[in-house]
Amino acid sequence: MFTVFSLHVMQMEFSFGPKGWVPAEQLQEKSTDECVYALGLHAPGFFDKVLNVNKCLLQSDSANEKSGNESRATWRRTAIVEDYGVQEGRRKHHNVLEKENENMHEFSQLCKNAGGIQSWGFLRGMCNSHTGFLKHLMLRSGRNVETGLPELTVNFVTSSDNPECLRPLVEKIATIPEVVSIVNNVNTSIGYTSVGEKEYTLYGKSTIIEILRGLTFQISANSFFQTNTRQGDVLYKLIEDCAFLKGDGSEIVLDLFCGTGTIGLALAKRVKPVYGFEVVAQAVSDARQNATLNFINNATFIEGDLNKIGSAFANNLPKPDIVITDPNRPVMHIKLIKFLLRLRASRIIYVSCNPATCARDLNYLCCGVPEQNIEGRYRLSSLQPVDMFPHTPHIECVCSLELR
């Protein structure tokens, strides 16, 4: 049985592109959008094709109608096309990019002359040549704890650190009342990841606030948090139910891939201690701050890569009664599988956004890996999908395993 609610996602990620992609069936249609530059979503199966998105039906009204549209409108102004022509504009931009270190003044001035943003069509660059500046625009929605009004974080992911180029857009977007945070994540890799190696706060505060399961969570740009908070509440309630807590506050919980601590903190007031592990340093910092915000003093959060654990992992911690693991889309490392089988916690709650990798890990935990002489020790007692992303094929699964 699937649980479905109307959806306003907390976070949406859009990509910049040098030219908008148009579906084949729309090629003959007349359009006011010349598709010179693109800001939207990738076409399925293509890393270099971006479909312009003028209105995202998944976002909140504040994110969609204000900061998102303002970013699109400002960035897509056609002054650069009128002044230079499309091809000349792209050629000039490409040349400026190549000599960026030699003449940053010309680069910044070009942005200003074009109204700040419209010249950025080139900045996403040519995908195959790995040139360009702008990579992603991320919009994250929260709410003011005191007033209940929406708050927005605008996050520009760029290939280099150049705040002067971002300044015109920052000044424009900062005038929107709902925008309380504008940050810049710098990612120099050629991949499409949106997590920056460095993060700079360009305006306002570095975090926003969201409320889930009656708790207040402080969330930074790089920290994982459920994008659909209404369904997130349903998901976490289901996890609590699957834990079958005794109610006497005696159980010990190990929370793997804990992110900002949402699941562990939701259980903390009903258990003894909670120990959370997470690889993202900022998320660990947020988790600790979230514990303080909610007056929770029995939760400990530790930074560490669970895909690189050694034989002594968690030896200094008491044996948990309940393990919660919420890995990202790839499977858990076999070292972590072996650790869980040796640990023999009474119950494992496996939360997954990828049914295929979830099935592999559940098979290892229940049936073992005969070719490696690994014996399974658990029985799958329940599995409940939650529709976190309506109108898409993506689901979240909550799996409850009991020690045999």
Tell me: do 275 and 391 sit in the same domain. yes
Active-site annotation, residues: 353
Q: Are residues 99 and 237 in the same domain?
A: no
Question: Residue 135: which domain range?
Answer: 11-205
Q: What percent of the chain has pLDDT over 90?
A: 31
More confident residue, 119 or 84: 119
127 shares its domain with 228: no
Residue 338 has a pLDDT of 93
Q: Which residue has the higher pLDDT, 134 or 181?
A: 181
Provide the domain count of the chain: 2
- Considering the domain architecture, whether residues 200 and 279 belong to the same structural domain is answered as no
**43 shares its domain with 183:** yes
Asked whether residue 380 is assigned to any structural domain, the reply reads yes
Same domain, 124 and 229: no
Residue 33 and residue 124 in one domain: yes
> Which one of 205, 229, 246 terminates a domain?
205
Assess whether 60 and 87 both reside in one domain: yes
Known binder of ligand: residue 231? no
pLDDT in the model for residue 165: 81
Predicted confidence at residue 117, as pLDDT, reads 38
Total number of residues shown for the chain: 404
Q: How confident is the model at residue 196 (pLDDT cuts 50, 70, 90)?
A: low
Question: Do 268 and 362 lie in a common domain?
Answer: yes
- CATH number of the structural domain spanning residue 325: 3.40.50.150
Higher pLDDT, 377 or 213: 377
On the question of pLDDT at 101 being above 60, the answer is no
Residues sharing a CB contact under 8 Å with residue 76, sequence separation 6 or more, in sequence order: 37, 39, 117, 118
303 with 333, same domain?
Answer: yes
Range among 136-140, 187-191, 202-206, 291-295 rated most confident: 291-295
The verdict on whether residue 26 carries a ligand-binding annotation is: no
Non-local CB neighbours of 310 within 8 Å, separated by 6+ positions: none
Confirm whether 3 is domain-assigned.
no
Segment 28-82, tens digit of pLDDT:
665 545 555 677 777 777 777 777 777 776 666 666 555 455 555 554 443 232 2
- Among the three residues 151, 180, 205, which one is the final residue of a domain in this structure? 205
Considering the domain architecture, whether residues 199 and 323 belong to the same structural domain is answered as no
On whether the CB atoms of residues 241 and 247 are closer than 8 A, the answer is no
Please report the pLDDT score of residue 334 as a whole number.
Answer: 92
Residue 112 has pLDDT above 50, yes or no: no
**Is 326 annotated as a binding-site member?**
yes
Question: Do the beta carbons of residue 292 and residue 221 sit within 8 Å?
Answer: no
Q: Is residue 285 part of a domain?
A: yes
In this structure, is residue 4 part of a structural domain?
no
Is 335 contained in some domain? yes
pLDDT per position as a tens digit, 81-90:
222 222 333 3
- Asked if 158 and 186 touch (Cβ cutoff 8 Å), the reply is yes
Do residues 243 and 157 both lie within one domain? no
| In a domain? residue 211 | no
Residue 6, domain member (yes or no): no
Q: Is residue 356 over pLDDT 80?
A: yes
Query: What is the average pLDDT across 338-355?
Result: 94
